[in-house]
Structure 1
Amino acid sequence: MVDQERSSSVRDFVAWEPVLRLMLGGDAHRRAGRSARVAGRIGRSGWSLAHPGRMSAAQQTAVEDIRRALARDGVEEVAFRAEVRPDGRTGLGLVWPSPAVEPALGYPDLGVLVLVEGARAEPWRQLPDPLPGVASAPSADLELLERTLRERLPDAVGATEEEIAAAEARLGVTLSDEMKVLYRVIPRWEDWRDDHAAMERVNTAVGCEFSALEHLYSADGAMRHPGWDLAATDAVDTPPDAAVQGLAGSPGWIGFGTNGGDEFAVDLTPGPGGYFGQVILIDHEQSLGAELVADSLTDFVLGRMREEQPDRRRDRPPAVATVGSRYGHGHGHFETVEAAAHPALEVLSVEARDGGPFSRGPFSLAPVACLPRLRTLTAFPGTLADPLEVAGLTGLEFLELGAEEWRVLLDAGAVPRTLKAAAVKVRDQDHLPVVDIANEILALWDRPRIVQTLLEGDLGPAA
């Protein structure tokens, strides 16, 4: 869909000339007589541009001018793609935000097409496995915990039973006995929220930047949802002896404090090797799983922390596999699709060939056609022997292919209807037709189309 009615400075070619010149850099393609293609994103909160070297003050000004124009127009972000011919004639496509497109973090690609409104990748839909009869740790000592806290906070007046019950009702969980002891002793928020010294005493008494009872929350998957471009290629992994379930989040992860960046939570839904009420750390730089830091709140308050546990995931076939990797052998990296195939495989990525021992291909998908859990396939352009083999992957919910591969599927009416999201990999491809392909995909699910403004201009011949 091409928009013919928009009119403002950001929709004028002249506003984009400095940015396009920045991204052309040394302009080696045009000096060699070939067209140059560039792409990027500019938004009100930042930008993603592939350009050589550091930006000059004039180039930064050009980007800031576009950002200000977007703010004036009430537009959050614009993606752009341009083809610059050797003689300077330039076609520029501006792609406007769409409710059906989720921007791809850190990349100038079109983004992810969300085919089912509100859909999330499978790891973010997973709930904790129930473990009936899981026990508290032997170190959980209610008397010792209360005595220690009262010694550290001798004049504190904590929450009442009614206030604790109200917090449980709000969270939809029953707090551990240790948590109830903790909040029976820790003073109410109104007693220390405006008193920095009192706040420090509370934090020191507990061992972290503490959250009052009314600020307790469930650290569920929604708070760590990274978007389809990352979430679709990840997988929940909970080894049989794991203390913590490898989830994005859980209604039983009750956040009660931080270390200044990461979240401490009491875990009411532990892994098969864990304890009810153990303390975990939810790393803000990770999307899945959490680290066990103490077997109990008693241990946590007394400073008896657990040592880092060994990673035993390498003992089992990986749920996420890469074929044709340029980075050599390693856990999850394979030379062939046959080597990567196993019943627990959920995510398969086929990367561009780059010489060396991993230069075999293009690859057939036949070895993974019957795998029961395969839900994500990403493939660089030109890496599939027969794109129509994608139609045999009956459980796919996310598919990322090059523009030519999508063209094959669309022409054959073979796009898997199980998909919840999709992406067109456009790096090293002709960028401008991508929106048309994306809109064909969206039309199959009757989703809103992407609007693109096409501009023409002249940057002059290569220097």
Structure 2
Amino acid sequence: MPGQPPQPPQPPQPPQPSLHDFATWAPVLRLLRAAPAERPAAPGGQVSGRIGLFGWSLRLSRPGPRPGQAAQLEDTQDEFDAVRRVQEALTDAGTDDMAFVAEIGPEGRTVLHLIGRSPAVTPGLGGPHPGALVLVEDAVPEPWRRLPDPVPDARPHPSADPALLERTLRERLPGAVGATEAELAGAEARLGVPLPGELRALYRVTRARWEDWVDPEDGYAAAGCELFPLDELYVAEAATRRADWRFAAKDAVVTPPDAAVQGLVGSPGWIVFGDNGGGDRIAVDLTPGPCGHLGQIIMIGHADHTGADLLADSLTDLVVNLPEDVRRSGATGHLPPAVAYVNHRGVAGVEEAAHPDLEVLSIGVVEEGRRFGLAAVTGLSRLRTLSAYPDTLADPLEIAKLTGLEFLELGPEDWRVLLDASAVPRGLAAAAVEVHGSRPPLPVVALANEILALWNRPLIPVTVLEGELGQ
């Protein structure tokens, strides 16, 4: 443009670090090599770890604070700078995290193995080892496939009273902005289920939108929980309660005959309308247990995978009485266990765990050197999960007789026996390699890829880079 001085040329910008450039990882590797000699990071050894966008797992010891001072950022600035360089490369590559293994020679010559992500493998627990191997596309554990039992005789509790509920809320929330009939109908259409009368009464009084509250605590004080706005109601089906295969496969859905709430992962009859302020969801239950009531109020624990707790007999009960105690909905009588743990604190042996209702068998260490046979559980039609701590099975080939397994978790040596004998159960939907101690990650990755290949699933990619770290 006339009258403007010419702009000076801009200096060239340094190229962004690439995830597959050795230089991107070199600062991290130098820090690991310099770790104390008693660690595996000593020169000439092998180091491993994982770096993600929101955290990292590295074998580094951080210096303690100076006497009389809190820890200072500059004390760990080198670590943060080195990790940030990798995180920038992760962002550019469009991936969340990357595990790695590096073999560092005495003179600094380094072979770096980058362990990528397979869509068929869940992330490992912090370290470089793979997580669960999902062998069947979109497969979920059996508890996540379980639908509620029918409850044709369920009735609302006598305390349910939409008119009383509405009067109580209007007294507590004068001037609140309620939802229109059109908005209520829109919520029903979105959810795919009609709203029960009590829930409609609540939202006729207040839409529970943030901008409608005079005080953010008004909703909690009036209803005994943090109310969700009408357009944030949702149905707590199983898919809303996520869990890794390695943990979810060891759960079981059990509903005792005296339970108020079915022991489900989720239900098309659980309509979530609030929160207790700690991440536990509050819901109306339209599929109650054998001793429950239609429309009872339950609390779905954020730390649990199955079941929910009875909070109130009705929404009117919750609002009018504002109960403080959660009533547990579990069994009051004895039930044969669907899940058995054979270990020091659990069941003494496989024979004691065997029962027609057994679904999950997890074998740990009872006494050193003791190994367990599986003959007692062969033929149990409901057994779907077997997890065995390394070196606890007398004969891994007995697993081939467990034809109903959908999840299998074994140590590397037991997997090796099954693979070499072509005896891996082909009915599996998912699997895992159980690793303990500081086992080298690359052989475990190779073993996982052998298992994935049997189902033609995407393998875990490993990229090899070489470089010099100097003296």
What is the aligned partner in structure 1 of residue 310 from structure 2? 292
What is the aligned partner in structure 2 of residue 131 from structure 1? 151
- State percent identity of aligned pairs: 54
Q: CA deviation at 1:381?
A: 2.2
Correspondence 1:165 to 2:185: yes
Contact 1:30–1:86 under 8 Å retained in 2: no
Contact 1:113–1:438 under 8 Å retained in 2: yes
Which one-letter code corresponds to 1:338 in the other structure? E
What is the aligned partner in structure 2 of residue 179 from structure 1? 199
- 2: CA distance between counterparts of 1:457 and 1:313? 64
Aligned pairs (5 A) from 1:26-425: 26-27=37-38, 39-49=48-58, 57=76, 58-82=78-102, 92-156=112-176, 158-186=178-206, 188=207, 193-197=210-214, 200-260=217-277, 261-305=279-323, 307-309=326-328, 311-312=330-331, 315-323=334-342, 325=343, 328-329=344-345, 333-351=346-364, 353=365, 358-359=367-368, 361-425=370-434
Query: Which deviations, in whole Å up to 9, do the C-alpha atoms of 1:366-409 show, x marking residues without a partner?
Result: 22111111111122222211111111111111111122222221
- 2: CA distance between counterparts of 1:224 and 1:290? 12
> Secondary structure, in 3 states, of the residue corresponding to 2:327?
coil
- 2: CA distance between counterparts of 1:266 and 1:10? 55
Query: Which deviations, in whole Å up to 9, do the C-alpha atoms of 1:107-141 show, x marking residues without a partner?
Result: 54211111111111111111111111201111112
Q: CA deviation at 1:272?
A: 1.1
Which one-letter code corresponds to 2:335 in the other structure? R
User: 21, 35, 51: which one pairs with 2:33?
Assistant: 21
- 2: CA distance between counterparts of 1:274 and 1:398? 33
Structure 2: runs of 5+ lacking an equivalent: 1-17, 65-74
- 1: CA distance between counterparts of 2:429 and 2:387? 14
Q: CA deviation at 1:254?
A: 0.6
Contact 1:13–1:457 under 8 Å retained in 2: no
- 2: CA distance between counterparts of 1:343 and 1:337? 13
Q: CA deviation at 1:165?
A: 3.3
Which one-letter code corresponds to 1:169 in the other structure? A
> Secondary structure, in 3 states, of the residue corresponding to 2:143?
helix
Q: CA deviation at 1:313?
A: 7.3
- 2: CA distance between counterparts of 1:321 and 1:202? 43
Which one-letter code corresponds to 2:56 in the other structure? W
Contact 1:13–1:455 under 8 Å retained in 2: no
Contact 2:41–2:59 under 8 Å retained in 1: no
My pick for the range that moved more, 154-163 or 115-124, is: 154-163
Q: 1:102 to 1:28 in 2, by over 3 A?
A: closer
What is the aligned partner in structure 2 of residue 9 from structure 1? 21
Which one-letter code corresponds to 1:359 in the other structure? E
What is the aligned partner in structure 2 of residue 3 from structure 1? none
- 2: CA distance between counterparts of 1:85 and 1:178? 70
Which one-letter code corresponds to 1:220 in the other structure? E
- 2: CA distance between counterparts of 1:91 and 1:376? 38
Q: 1:343 to 1:82 in 2, by over 3 A?
A: farther
Query: Which deviations, in whole Å up to 9, do the C-alpha atoms of 1:198-218 show, x marking residues without a partner?
Result: 664444322322123222110
Which one-letter code corresponds to 2:281 in the other structure? E
Q: 1:138 to 1:345 in 2, by over 3 A?
A: same
- 1: CA distance between counterparts of 2:463 and 2:292? 55
Query: Which deviations, in whole Å up to 9, do the C-alpha atoms of 1:173-220 show, x marking residues without a partner?
Result: 23222122222332x46xx54244066444432232212322211011
Structure 1: runs of 5+ lacking an equivalent: 1-5
- 2: CA distance between counterparts of 1:126 and 1:310? 19
Q: 1:140 to 1:180 in 2, by over 3 A?
A: same
Contact 1:39–1:109 under 8 Å retained in 2: no
- 2: CA distance between counterparts of 1:28 and 1:183? 60
User: 451, 459, 462: which one pairs with 1:452?
Assistant: 462
TM-score (normalised: structure 2): 0.83
Contact 1:12–1:455 under 8 Å retained in 2: no
Q: CA deviation at 1:237?
A: 2.3
Contact 1:378–1:399 under 8 Å retained in 2: yes
Q: CA deviation at 1:154?
A: 4.2
Over aligned residues, Cα RMSD in angstroms?
Answer: 3.1
Q: 1:86 to 1:414 in 2, by over 3 A?
A: farther
Which one-letter code corresponds to 1:102 in the other structure? T
- 1: CA distance between counterparts of 2:174 and 2:139? 50
Q: 1:378 to 1:90 in 2, by over 3 A?
A: farther
Q: 1:420 to 1:391 in 2, by over 3 A?
A: same
TM-score (normalised: structure 1): 0.84
Which one-letter code corresponds to 1:248 in the other structure? V
- 1: CA distance between counterparts of 2:161 and 2:53? 52
Q: CA deviation at 1:308?
A: 2.9
Which one-letter code corresponds to 1:322 in the other structure? Y
- 1: CA distance between counterparts of 2:435 and 2:466? 21
What is the aligned partner in structure 1 of residue 8 from structure 2? none
Which one-letter code corresponds to 1:317 in the other structure? P
| Structure having greater relative contact order (Cα 8 Å, sep ≥ 6) | 1
Which one-letter code corresponds to 2:432 in the other structure? A
Q: 1:39 to 1:125 in 2, by over 3 A?
A: farther
> Secondary structure, in 3 states, of the residue corresponding to 1:94?
strand
Contact 2:148–2:287 under 8 Å retained in 1: yes
Task: Indicate the structure (1 or 2) with the bigger Cα radius of gyration.
Answer: 2
